[in-house]
Chain A
Amino acid sequence: MVTDIKTRLLGQDVSFPVDESRLAYWLVVMRLIVGWWFLHAGLDKFLAWPFDASWFVGGAAAQTTLGPILVLFSDGILLSFTNVMVPLGQTLIGLGLIVGAFTRLAAFFGAFLMTFFYFVNGETGDWSHGVITGDLLGLLIFAMIATLGAGRVLGIDAYLARTDFVKDHPRLRHFIG
């Protein structure tokens, strides 16, 4: 089946047809692979506990564009917070994407984390072949998953969207797929 997406962009009619089954297939594939990327990154840190993010938020990161913000988290209680939140966040984002639960929320925070990785890794060497890196592409895929609400395809969000609680509080649909 093909659906016509009817819309305008930059003042022009840019309506276009989309093959629905291919789109659904592609959303699930993207969600699972990107989800495993983050779930693995999070679990890997828990399995090798303790995790120490001081090399990232201090050290070389201090000289980058985001340095003034990141150095605030380079010692004391904010470093302890970062040491827990990075692996916990990555694990929850990965789980959320894989099972399709709170997909938009998970993808938003995935993009949020990738923003830090993109600028710090980039400005400390990754941009030696140009500024389009895997980190930026990861960020864009998170943005795409959040935009398309991929959790409704073979995901828990399809069930959540039908619950009375979500129907009574429609703004919650901003967080689920």
Chain B
Amino acid sequence: MTQLTTAERIALYGGGGLLLIGTLGIGLLEILAGAPHPVSGEGQIVHETLVPLTVRSSIMLLGLLLWGAYAVASVAREPAVDTSI
């Protein structure tokens, strides 16, 4: 059984959490009390949203960056023992 280190927890839980906030969390909030679509079909930003699009995008981008940082940082450590080879 592998255990996540504190840094891995921050990257994986933080990254996943931010992505969930940006998609599901803010999405639910917009459905209930804002504008369900952040942009129009022509690509115009909808300004009636509760959370500005740049804020929502930045939250999701930060989540993806944390995931990316986890992937890059994991190269620095020794991989788990491979018992199949």
Contact = CB atoms under 8 A, between A and B. Distances in A.
B78 A170 contact: yes
Interface string A129-168: 1111000100100010010000010000000011000010
> Chain A, interface size: which category?
35 or more
Q: Is the interface of A mostly helix, strand, loop or mixed?
A: helix
Interface residues of B, number: 34
Contacts of A162: 85
Contacts, number: 78
A22 interface: no
B37 interface: yes
Nearest to A13: B1
Interface in A1-49: 6-8, 10
A115 interface: yes
A73 interface: no
Contacts of A136: 23
A81 interface: no
Given A128-B40, A173-B82, A8 B3 contact: yes
Interface in A98-131: 108, 111-112, 115, 119, 122-131
Contacts of A65: 54, 57-58, 61
Interface of A: 6-8, 10, 60, 64-66, 108, 111-112, 115, 119, 122-132, 136, 139, 143, 146, 152, 161-162, 167, 170-171, 173-175
